[in-house]
Structure 1
């Protein structure tokens, strides 16, 4: 199956970002991709961290969810919707949520980001817990070629999450990695997750300078189960794509049965 990741530079305007996502999803599907991945925070990179609270939708309804369901059905693809803000029980906070739609436009999986990013160095500071409620359950789905494990951005630093998912054929990582941390660790961590889980990793980033002044690392990429980078887009808007080869997964796991050799 051909799969693709959509790299964006989201703005503070929801309508602009929805139009961009539609256009790039259509381009990716036209190239033959049957599983599409949007980045974290694709609907909005706000001027204030609280802006996402204002557009948060209740689970199951709203323009962001309607658009994703419509695009999955219209294009006949599996659509992994990056992340959108869903309403949380705590006032002033949201859930940072990945929703998955099948080619009929039905929502078939959901994952609420478990690990909330915190970083402070010089003038650069982030603390997602101020506006986001953490999830508490791992999630995956079957896309016809094997299990697809869901994760979001900062989750990448916690290998135990991927072990908890069990044996996967593909791990997806929608993200908005900062330029600072991405430059240092993004590719290393992604390749490590692919190697240790002997599966494909499709990572999808925000990739450039945003209106709010934030700069994201981009470098959306597809990595094979041996840790080889098959495609990468460094910065800017665009698409990363490639094929999932089930026979390669089986061959690597047979010749190097590390998953069967686990002790802990």
Structure 2
């Protein structure tokens, strides 16, 4: 068994305050015996007003949240998966980028969100992530204390081909950090996280944003840990039942992964479908 910690956040528009919250969560995770902490999508800044956000979005080298997390990871000797940060690229656009940081504070992996959230919801919410962010192209896995970790971000969960690729890469755990809207979360959050876990025969760890944010949005919460059989092991409270920011723990059992893959070897039984 190896322990993971999930940090459910209500990220605001001040990166300094958000960095302090993550550093505190790192300390809590280490004190609770976790080998690795997971944070949500857009942990460093959540601001739908892009003109204002632009003042706080910097390159990796200058990002104060990334620097603070790397230092805290080194000090505490714990791995951290930053669900994502808004990072300025050299071409002037932004990347929605996840980072895996080891216990020495070194960056072991980066993943740029592949699928952009461009939707018009019946609630009246309209989102155009692609107007500011450039999508990634690469499937990313990395070896961690939890085993092989596959990386995804939020809206990626709706695209099974990515999780098929991560399953075929024999990921033990897949991270799906998120800032889900309340309407889509109520309809699809639990359903899709469980389905992706079953499809990939892997644990799904989904640290989520929750509650009312400074920029006016509301996020669903319900940070989840799902085992390879689709069983929900951890479900933190959400916006619909008074959920708030906090750290929670789950144990990853590698024997459970082997049992599920032996009992239901869907990855081994996969056949290519003719087009």
* TM-score, normalization by structure 1: 0.95
Q: 2:134 aligned with 1:126, yes or no?
A: no
What is the Cα-based RMSD across aligned positions, in Å?
Answer: 1.4
Q: How does 1:118-197 map to 2 (within 5 A)?
A: 118-121=118-121, 122-165=123-166, 166-197=169-200
- 3-state SS in 2 of match to 1:54: coil
CA distance in structure 2 between the aligned counterparts of 1:22 and 1:45, rounded to whole angstroms: 17
Map of 1:261 onto structure 2? 269
Q: CA distance change for structure 1 residues 27 and 197 in 2, over 3 Å: closer, same or farther?
A: same
> Gapped runs of 5+ residues in structure 2?
238-242
- 3-state SS in 2 of match to 1:81: strand
Map of 1:99 onto structure 2? 99
Map of 1:247 onto structure 2? 255
Q: CA distance change for structure 1 residues 34 and 144 in 2, over 3 Å: closer, same or farther?
A: closer
Map of 2:113 onto structure 1? 113
Q: 2:230 aligned with 1:227, yes or no?
A: yes
Q: 2:69 aligned with 1:68, yes or no?
A: yes
* TM-score, normalization by structure 2: 0.91
Q: 2:87 aligned with 1:86, yes or no?
A: yes
Q: Tell me how far 1:27 sits from its aligned partner.
A: 1.1
Q: Do the aligned partners of 2:177 and 2:207 also contact (CA within 8 Å) in 1?
A: yes
CA distance in structure 2 between the aligned counterparts of 1:174 and 1:145, rounded to whole angstroms: 16
Q: Tell me how far 1:17 sits from its aligned partner.
A: 1.1
- 3-state SS in 1 of match to 2:268: coil
Deviations 1:19-50 (A, max 9, x none): 11111221122111111111111111225034
Deviations 1:136-168 (A, max 9, x none): 111110014421000000000011112223211
Q: Do the aligned partners of 2:172 and 2:257 also contact (CA within 8 Å) in 1?
A: yes
Give the number of equivalent residue pairs. 263
- 3-state SS in 2 of match to 1:260: helix
Q: 2:212 aligned with 1:204, yes or no?
A: no
Q: Tell me how far 1:170 sits from its aligned partner.
A: 0.2
Q: Tell me how far 1:207 sits from its aligned partner.
A: 0.6
Q: Do the aligned partners of 2:115 and 2:155 also contact (CA within 8 Å) in 1?
A: yes
Q: Tell me how far 1:61 sits from its aligned partner.
A: 4.3
Q: Do the aligned partners of 1:46 and 1:212 also contact (CA within 8 Å) in 2?
A: yes
> Gapped runs of 5+ residues in structure 1?
none
Q: 2:221 aligned with 1:218, yes or no?
A: yes
CA distance in structure 1 between the aligned counterparts of 2:47 and 2:145, rounded to whole angstroms: 36
- 3-state SS in 2 of match to 1:167: coil
Q: Do the aligned partners of 1:232 and 1:240 also contact (CA within 8 Å) in 2?
A: no
Q: Do the aligned partners of 1:221 and 1:240 also contact (CA within 8 Å) in 2?
A: no
Deviations 1:63-96 (A, max 9, x none): 22211211211111111111111112443x3101
CA distance in structure 1 between the aligned counterparts of 2:79 and 2:38, rounded to whole angstroms: 9
